[in-house]
Amino acid sequence: MWIADNWNDYQIIDCSKGEKLERWGDYLLIRPDPQVIWDTQKAHKGWKRPNAHYHRSAKGGGEWEFFDLPQQWTIRYRELVFNLKPFSFKHTGLFPEQAVNWDWCQEKIRNAKKPAKVLNLFAYTGGATLAAAKAKASVTHVDASKGMVGWAKENAASSGLSDAPIRWLVDDCVKFAERELRRGNRYDAIIMDPPSYGRGPKGEIWKIEDCIHPLIRLCAQLLSEEPLFFLVNSYTTGLAPAVLTYLLSTELCPRYGGQVDAQEIGLPVLQSHLALPCGASGRWER
């Protein structure tokens, strides 16, 4: 497992009975987590005194219960600053486990022998975009949500990257990739974090099990002649690391050589000294 263990401003303190107790900067949040299927004693005092608690509903969805939490606050990871706020379906605007991939991407970009051009698809609030830009890459950031792109711009400004070479695009990621291929545009690295399920602007249904292979095949054609890496993230249970390995190996290795590795990604838990799995990532590199 690849573990994001370089955080100072974030920490999973404990997890039990379908929930995790987290520290986000100065604030404690309790949020549900489907991976937490064990029933251990909730001994830490933070369980009784959180700043906010997201309660799942038996009918689906849920709602926040606030005790003492500002509408927005910030946390830092290395040189990056993120603006957080509680919003729909338990989220805060950041997936801390992805820091292990940010570090890897930055290392690949900094060790490259040329300026890197990076495409980030389904780019959310821009964690990978900011990491790549901080490593001196030029980045094309694409997300279908105008609100998420705006949030990512705020994070860039807070991180001192307002003038970085980042293209901010509100667009359907698949349609954008198809247009880029027709235009002849190419990238040295591609990052993607596709959703498990969604709908396009005209009601098109996105189901990751059906769409991920065609998308990887499409994006493989967008790589430059000497690409650096290709990173795919998945929070879908059916897409195990071995599946990501197979997808990347079949589409990229025959064309570019290189090697593929895929692992679960996770976060350390203070109380148990174990790691909580938080999805999977597949990495191709030369």
Task: Mark whether 124 and 21 lie in a shared domain.
Answer: no
pLDDT tier, 136 (very low <50, low <70, confident <90, very high otherwise): very high
Q: What is the mean pLDDT of residues 98-126?
A: 97
Mean local confidence (pLDDT), 271-278:
96
SS3 121: strand
What tokens appear for 83 in the block? 């603006």
42 found inside a domain:
yes
Please check whether residues 29 and 158 belong to one and the same domain: no
Mean pLDDT within 173-181? 96
The reply to whether 258 and 169 lie within a common domain is yes
pLDDT digits (tens, 9 = 90+) for 5-25: 999 999 999 999 999 999 999
pTM: 0.94
- Structural domain count of the chain: 2
pLDDT of residue 12: 98
Report which of 277, 223, 205 is spatially closest to residue 37, judged by C-alpha positions: 277
Q: What is the mean pLDDT of residues 170-188?
A: 97
- 234 and 107 co-located in one domain: yes
75 shares its domain with 101: no
- CATH number for the domain including 30? 2.60.40.1180
Residue 129 lies in a domain: yes
Q: State whether 28 and 144 are in the same domain.
A: no
The answer to whether 126 and 157 have CB atoms below 8 angstroms apart is: no
Kindly state whether residues 50 and 122 are assigned to the same domain: no
Boundary residue ending a domain (56, 84, 112): 84
Region 100-129 average pLDDT: 97
Q: Do 200 and 256 have their domain in common?
A: yes
Whether residues 43 and 101 fall in one domain: no
Q: What is the rounded average pLDDT of the residues 184-199?
A: 91
| 115 within a domain of the structure (yes/no) | yes
With bands split at pLDDT 50, 70 and 90, how would you rate the model's confidence at 67? Answer: very high
Domain that includes residue 241, residue range: 96-285
In a domain, 1, yes or no: no
pLDDT at 157: 98
Least confident of 150-159, 171-180, 205-214: 205-214
> What CATH number did the domain enclosing 251 receive?
3.40.50.150
Average pLDDT over the chain, rounded to an integer = 95
**Same domain as 169, residue 33:** no
The reply to whether 91 falls in a domain is: no
Domain boundary among 84, 105, 124: 84
Are both 265 and 180 inside the same structural domain? Answer: yes
Q: Tell whether the model's pLDDT for residue 207 goes beyond 80.
A: no
Model confidence at 209: pLDDT above 90: no
Query: Is residue 163 a part of any domain in this protein?
Result: yes
Report if residue 230 sits inside a domain: yes
H helix runs in the chain, sequence order: 99-110, 127-134, 146-158, 173-183, 208-220, 241-256
The CA distances from residue 54 to 41, 91, 195, 263, 282, in Å, are 19, 9, 22, 29, 30
Which band of pLDDT confidence, cut at 50, 70 and 90, is reported for residue 201?
Answer: low
**Where among 63, 84, 105 does a domain terminate?**
84
Question: Which tokens is 164 given?
Answer: 């970085």
How far is it, in rounded angstroms, from Cα 204 to Cα 183?
24
| Structure confidence by residue, pLDDT tens digits, 24-55 | 999 999 999 999 999 999 999 999 999 999 99
Q: Is 89 among the domain residues?
A: no
The pLDDT assigned to 106 comes to 98
The reported pLDDT for the residue numbered 202 is: 66
Instruction: Please state the φ and ψ torsions of residue 167, each to the nearest 5 degrees.
Output: -95, 120
Least confident of 40-44, 51-55, 189-193, 238-242: 238-242
Does 199 have pLDDT greater than 70? no
pLDDT of residue 200: 64
The mean per-residue pLDDT over the stretch 214-238 comes to: 95
Do residues 66 and 122 share a domain? no
